[in-house]
């Protein structure tokens, strides 16, 4: 399988505080890869850096063989990487359908956009009932669906999902993870960041365990899920 995203020796700092300390990982085409770890491990910082919202201190990020670190956020989207950010960050005073339109902001192919619009509404039928509702008035779970759907509207090659299960009821968590699997089946590669390690390892092919800014372990998701150390630290076993 070909490597889609390659992160090499990446370090990111907030002022003098190093949040990510030289991590390396890669995502192959068609995979679901997850970064797991506790609060403050540097997972979200890594995703924000890939998306161009933060500039790395050192290291490189290549996407399809092309260096993308140092690009502005909007240029990263042009390359084919979209993100559903932590805390959803939907546009609260816009309707659901306006939010979805913005997800396709850089695209001009009207008929394809319409097709994707139907596709994401099929993935999240609940949103169809809410198209004209102001996004800020929806429940947390609905907002999360919208955030993922909005990121899908960019028709990315690589979809970054930051904590999609945060603050959701168990039944919704299950729905979100089922949808993640469906999205991959439709051909989108996914890099997933999660605190809910159990659910993440369940859907992922490979995983990297982050701890205070470094990769502590990595490997096949099913193997990691049965690893004693991982179980003890992250799976509450």
First-to-last alpha carbon distance for the chain, in angstroms, is 34
Q: CB nearer to other proteins: give 162 or 209.
A: 162
Q: Does 188 bind other proteins (CB under 8 A)?
A: no
Q: E strand or H helix at 149, and its extent?
A: helix 140-152
Residue 136 or 219 having the CB closest to other proteins: 136
163 within 8 A of 157, measured Cβ to Cβ: no
Q: Give the contact letters, 100-139, x = binds to other proteins (CB under 8 A), - = no.
A: -xxx-xx---------------------------x-xxxx
By CB under 8 A, what part of segment 46-105 binds other proteins? 51-53, 72-74, 77-78, 82-83, 85, 87, 89-94, 98, 101-103, 105
> Could you write out the DSSP letters of every residue in 36-97?
E--TTSSHHHHHHHHTTSS--SEEEEEETTEE-TT--HHHHHHHTEEEE-TT----TTSBHH
Q: What is the CA radius of gyration of the chain?
A: 17
Task: State the Cα–Cα distance between residues 90 and 100, nearest whole angstrom.
Answer: 10
* 196 lies in the binding site for other proteins (CB under 8 A): no
28 lies in the site for other proteins, by CB under 8 A: no
**Which is closer to other proteins, CB of 79 or CB of 216?**
79
How far does CA 4 lie from the centroid of its chain? 15
State the minimum distance, in angstroms, from the CB of residue 10 to other proteins: 19
For other proteins, which is the closer residue by CB, 144 or 227? 144
Q: Which residues bind other proteins (CB under 8 A)?
A: 51-53, 72-74, 77-78, 82-83, 85, 87, 89-94, 98, 101-103, 105-106, 134, 136-140, 143, 150-151, 154
């Amino acid at each position: 399988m070909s490597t889609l995203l390659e992160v090499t020796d990446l370090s990111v700092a907030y002022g003098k505080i190093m949040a990510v300390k030289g991590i390396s990982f890669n995502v192959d085409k068609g995979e679901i890869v997850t970064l797991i770890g506790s609060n403050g491990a540097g997972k979200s910082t890594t995703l924000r850096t890939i998306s161009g919202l933060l500039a790395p201190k050192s290291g490189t990020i290549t996407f399809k063989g092309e260096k993308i670190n140092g690009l502005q956020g909007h240029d990263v989207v042009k390359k084919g990487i979209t993100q559903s950010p932590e805390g959803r960050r939907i546009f609260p005073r816009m309707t659901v359908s306006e939010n979805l339109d913005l997800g396709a902001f850089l695209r001009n192919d009207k008929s394809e956009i319409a097709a994707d619009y139907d596709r994401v509404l099929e993935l999240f039928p609940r949103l169809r009932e809410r198209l004209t509702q102001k996004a800020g008035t929806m429940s947390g779970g609905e907002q999360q669906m919208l955030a993922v759907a909005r990121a899908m509207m960019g028709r990315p090659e690589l979809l970054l999902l930051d904590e999609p299960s945060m603050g959701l009821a168990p039944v919704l968590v299950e729905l979100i993870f089922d949808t993640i699997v469906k999205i991959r089946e439709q051909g989108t590669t996914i890099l997933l960041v999660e605190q809910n390690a159990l659910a993440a390892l369940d859907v992922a092919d490979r995983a990297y365990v982050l701890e205070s800014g470094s990769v502590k372990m990595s490997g096949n998701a099913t193997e990691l899920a049965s690893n004693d150390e991982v179980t003890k630290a992250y799976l509450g076993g």
